[in-house]
Chain A
Amino acid sequence: MNNTLLARSADALYWLARYVERAENLARILDVNDTFARDRTGGQNWLSIVQLNADREAFFARHPTADAARVIGFYVADTTNPTSIASAVRAARENARTLRPLISTEMWVQLNVFHNRLATVTAADLTPGRLSPLLAQVKEGCQTHTGITEGTFFRDEGWYFYQLGRYLERADQTTRLLDVKYHVLLPDQQDPGSAVDVSQWNALLRSAAGYHAYRRLHATGITPGQVAGFLLLNRRFPRSVYLCVREAELLLAELGARYGLRGGHRAAEQLDGLRGLLSGVTIEDVLIGGLHEFLDEVQRQLNRTAAALGIGFFGYPEQSESETSESAQ
């Protein structure tokens, strides 16, 4: 049989995975911020979450200040905010709806029930004491999706696009997390004596589910550089940018070889370059050159990879160089 995977379906599979991954990451970040990320005065920095999602404009158009209740409401349940968990899960489910002939019944049912559950969330569920269990449910919902997919989704071309979406989104999320948090958490430059706030760096690692793995690797202490290096360059941590890029590169190569598809060569070139960038540096090099500048370059290359997939496989027009539109239904 020839390739019969519709370009539109491949696109929807890719976005299905991205949206679920996005919802999971957002739940992690909100949960950790709610639970662990207190500074020495006991305050929480909720604005950094708005920055992390590049939502300053949209957020302050709706809210005067970035306090806990407002940021949580904006990112958990606000369906008018396209970057909320509710919107991501809804978008995942709408993609899944168009994909029902391809995905397993169990994948669809779980997402449908998950979505319907989130649709019943009220303001009362977002209050202290109830938020964390809700976010745990979101994480678990996303991970259940991932597990069901692993166990039931047929491994043809569609599987590769799904996995590509997952790893590219994860790389993107880790990059953003690091970019925003690193600079917020660095010791005060004006006060060289100020201590590294260990609990905040721990919280950053917990956001990426990397705390325990990091401890195994760096048992003696915690330094900002080591944390950044771990999240960016570690070869075995499943949420490190390096690992995600490497996985995406392997997936794309296998997709091309196994199914005789030629649409991936530009994306493959991008990923090859990106992996080269990530494997050729140490974290010390990165910090000297500027972490923010480095992460910006990584983001640009991730975006170019996504755009190249759009043109090579999903039938997007040629000129959209800078960023793929989140065309997803």
Chain B
Amino acid sequence: MILSDYTSPGFYCELTDSPDSAPIRARLESLTIDALHRRAAAAEAELYNLGITFTVYSDKDAIDRILPFDVIPRVIPAAEWARIESGVIQRVAALNLLLADLYHDQRILKDRILPADLILDHKQFRPEMQGIDLPHGTYVHICGTDIIRGADGGFMVLEDNARTPSGVSYVIENRHMMLRAFPDLIDGVGVRPIDSYGLQLRAALRECAPVADPAIVLLSPGSYNSAFFEHVFLAREMGVPLVEGRDLVVIDDRVFMRTIGGHAPVEMIYRRLNDDFLDPEAFNPDSMLGVKGLMRAYRAGNVGLANAVGTGIADDKAVYAYMPRIIRYYLGQDPILPNVETHLCREADGLAYTLDHLDQLVVKPVGEAGGYGITIGPRASRAELDACRAQLLADPANYISQPCISLSVAPTLVEGRVEPRHVDLRPFAITGAKTWVLPGGLTRVALREGSLIVNSSQGGGSKDTWVLE
């Protein structure tokens, strides 16, 4: 009985506190811990052989690692999903309206909803984008919204990822893995399928291209990039060429790829390359990965880019704090999914509050991703708190603080038993003419006991995510 000793005091449990998960609990109870371990080991070996891996580079060797995979699925009841889905759609709509405004009339700055210096001095704000009209006003074609759930069971948005969010390949491969390793677990449970991601993405890219029947490519930094598997996966799912910067050339403001038959036109690019590396002529001149002249072609309207250049301003952690106001400003609606309460240390009140409550708050640098540079007050030593205080005083605008959320947990297989581990959720939204959300998304799980950090770079794993019919 794998769940008989399982409890999760003080936290919301995604399985045992969920009203609709009884059938899945019953199926889980029919398995033994040994059987779970056996099947989990087989599943991980298969992921490794399939090369569903991210690559870590040491001095001379490339080491392929799988994203650790927990076999007990995370379950989302239909009603909860409906709320998440509508909340994500609302949020993506606001992000796109914000970006269109910032790169055109800047009404939101003139109306003093957002402080102008926060935007205009930001290194992710790209003046090159000023005045460019994009099809359907879509800047963020692919968005990953990080969502957490507190002790009261309420969902909150922790972060928007509007640049090149990754992880969707794991969502789909995890599902395939579960279907192979645990057919008995999913049998008879109505779980929303997720197979159409590639088709949806391709359709959205087509809608946002400058021509009717565009030649689409996926631009990757190359096989040495740690997310290369995902690039392969997406190119394959869309049926488009996977190219690197050296495969593309810009001639007379038009983009071509070098094929066996000469230069072939390219009209739409899903790029998995950050703005900085995209075009050495426009941005980082040292970039070996980009395509010289790409920004000229883009500005001339001869090629589409997804995501658009300059979306990094929208997923900044300081801008995040304004999202509820941004949603109200553009949509005249209350946010369906609330933010986590956020104190902006760039503001005197926020800084004072943060310094007074340092041992209770999570302090985050605004520009970092991947869980780096975070201080978790209740877990920090005296020395760590002092260091954090010094950093805050030295550069307050670089930080925000948030209360320490008691992240929800899910039953997770550890050595010989099932224990609660903290999870989050990253749904993926695709936007062309309108927005579609992949049912579920990436559930990341902090595999270390008590850890709140779910990032794969910090010992996180993932679970299959089942949205129930």
Report Cα–Cα, A100/B241, bound state, in Å.
11
Q: Are A2 and B258 in contact (CB under 8 A)?
A: no
Known: A6-B259, A157-B260. A109 touches B49 (CB 8 A): yes
8 Å CB contact of A263 from B51, B241, B257, B261: B261
* Interface presence of A259 (CB below 8 A): yes
8 Å CB contact of B49 from A97, A113, A313, A329: A113
Residues of B within 8 A of A205 (CB): none
Residues of B within 8 A of A97 (CB): 51, 223, 228
Nearest CB on A from B403, distance (A):
44
* Interface presence of A260 (CB below 8 A): yes
Q: For B51, B222, B247, which residue has the most chain A Cβ atoms within 10 angstroms?
A: B51
Report Cα–Cα, A197/B38, bound state, in Å.
57
Report Cα–Cα, A109/B236, bound state, in Å.
16
Report Cα–Cα, A10/B260, bound state, in Å.
7
Report Cα–Cα, A105/B237, bound state, in Å.
13
Known: A98-B223, A113-B49. A6 touches B247 (CB 8 A): yes
Interface residues on chain B, number (Cβ under 8 Å): 23
* Interface presence of B246 (CB below 8 A): yes
Interface string of B232-260 (1 = CB under 8 A from A): 10011000011110110000000001111
Residues of A within 8 A of B397 (CB): none
Within 8 A of B (CB), among A1-44: 2-10
Nearest CB on A from B363, distance (A):
40
Chain A residue at minimum C-beta to C-beta distance from B50 = A109
* Interface presence of B355 (CB below 8 A): no
Residues of B within 8 A of A10 (CB): 260
Report Cα–Cα, A329/B235, bound state, in Å.
20
Q: Are B241 and A101 in contact (CB under 8 A)?
A: yes
Report Cα–Cα, A101/B246, bound state, in Å.
17
Q: Are A108 and B51 in contact (CB under 8 A)?
A: yes
Chain B residue at minimum C-beta to C-beta distance from A329 = B223
Interface string of A85-122 (1 = CB under 8 A from B): 00000000010011011000100110011001000000
Report Cα–Cα, A19/B209, bound state, in Å.
40
Residues of A within 8 A of B51 (CB): 97, 100, 108-109, 112
Chain A residue at minimum C-beta to C-beta distance from B242 = A101
Known: A2-B264, A8-B246, A109-B51. A101 touches B259 (CB 8 A): no
8 Å CB contact of A94 from B223, B232, B260: B223
* Interface presence of A151 (CB below 8 A): no
Chain B residue at minimum C-beta to C-beta distance from A1 = B215
Residues of A within 8 A of B244 (CB): 8
8 Å CB contact of B258 from A7, A101, A109, A112: A7
Nearest CB on B from A131, distance (A):
26
Within 8 A of B (CB), among A254-270: 259-263
* Interface presence of A315 (CB below 8 A): yes
Known: A109-B50, A112-B49. A8 touches B235 (CB 8 A): no
Known: A97-B223, A100-B51. A5 touches B236 (CB 8 A): no
8 Å CB contact of A7 from B49, B50, B222, B260: B260
- Can you report 15 residue pairs joining A to B where beta carbons are below 8 Å apart? A3-B264, A4-B241, A4-B259, A4-B264, A6-B257, A8-B244, A8-B247, A10-B260, A97-B228, A101-B235, A105-B50, A108-B50, A109-B51, A112-B49, A112-B50
B interface with A by C-beta (< 8 Å): 49-51, 215, 222-223, 228-229, 232, 235-236, 241-244, 246-247, 257-261, 264
Q: Which 7 A-B pairs have the closest CB atoms?
A: A3-B261, A100-B232, A101-B235, A101-B242, A313-B260, A98-B223, A7-B258
